[in-house]
Homo-oligomer: A and B are copies of this chain.
Amino acid sequence: MDATTRIEQALASAIDSVATSGCPPRLAEAVRHSVFPGGARVRPRLCLAVAAACGSTDYAAADAVAASIELLHCASLVHDDLPCFDDSPLRRGVPSVHRAFGEPLAVLAGDALIILAFEHLARSLAATPERLGPLLLTVSRSVGMPHGITAGQAWECEPRVSVEDYHRAKTGSLFAAATAAGAQVAGADADAWRVVGDRIGEAYQVADDLRDVAASAQEVGKPVGRDALLNRPSAAGELGVDGAIDRLRQLVKGAIDAIPECPGRDKLAEVLMAESRHIMPKDLAQRAA
């Protein structure tokens, strides 16, 4: 089964396990709307690719970890789209959760997704309790305080912010968790893998900045030009489009160079190269080719 199918099935199965009879129907609907149809599923695919490169054979555990990471990513998008943050009317080409279901259900769907991510991890790793704690810490740190996504979003509320800290927390942390957790689920050392995720996360952030200045809203599925409008730090703004494309390439190369010794090193390098082409806006990918 390919990675995309495994991820979609793992996400559906996580949600099905709690969106059961007795659940408020609109909350269940809002949670599904937050997760399906999905975006590129970059983080869970990275997690599965690292687990495979490290020789993991516990597919169910790897799928659960990948799904938990994606659930947390979706939660952060739902809350980030709220009127008090970006007030985004669209996400992945459809109305954002608060536009489709109202603000209260958007707050609650985000909360429910965070909780589900941890519950799903606990349920899926019941047979290997010695792995649950370390995996849970890797995942929780990537979204909580002091350096996770929540902290990243909170930097937007500070009068002074280091652009590097901001991006590392808001975007990089969950990428680093994707590689670290992918290694952990295979019994490999997590720390050595964090830098791979860090660099891919940074590359992804540059690609996101590029999409914000250079792609169409239709291609991206959400409003573009928001960074300039909201006066947010942006690699494309600082380096120009060509400079940002160069930076993206260097980061992907850096990520590949940082891959620790493992059984599936070459295959993983190929996957990361393909990924870097995949995340670039279509027009720019042609220009960069």
Residues of A with Cβ closer than 8 Å to B?
A: 18-28, 31, 75, 79, 82, 84-85, 101-105, 107-108, 110-112, 114-116, 118-119, 122-123, 125-126, 129-130, 132-133, 136-137, 140-141, 143-148, 150-151, 153-158, 165
Contact = CB atoms under 8 A, between A and B. Distances in A.
Copies of this chain, complex-wide, total 2
B145 A18 contact: yes
Contacts of A151: 23-24, 27, 112
Interface of A is mostly: helix
B115 A31 contact: no
Nearest to A105: B157
A59 B187 CA distance: 31
B144 A116 contact: yes
Contacts of A125: 133
A58 to B, nearest CB: 16
Contacts of A26: 154, 157-158
Given A84-B107, A115-B150, A123-B133, 10 more contacts: A22-B146, A23-B145, A23-B147, A24-B151, A27-B154, A79-B107, A102-B157, A104-B154, A114-B114, A116-B144
Contact of A18 (B22, B102, B146, B157): B146
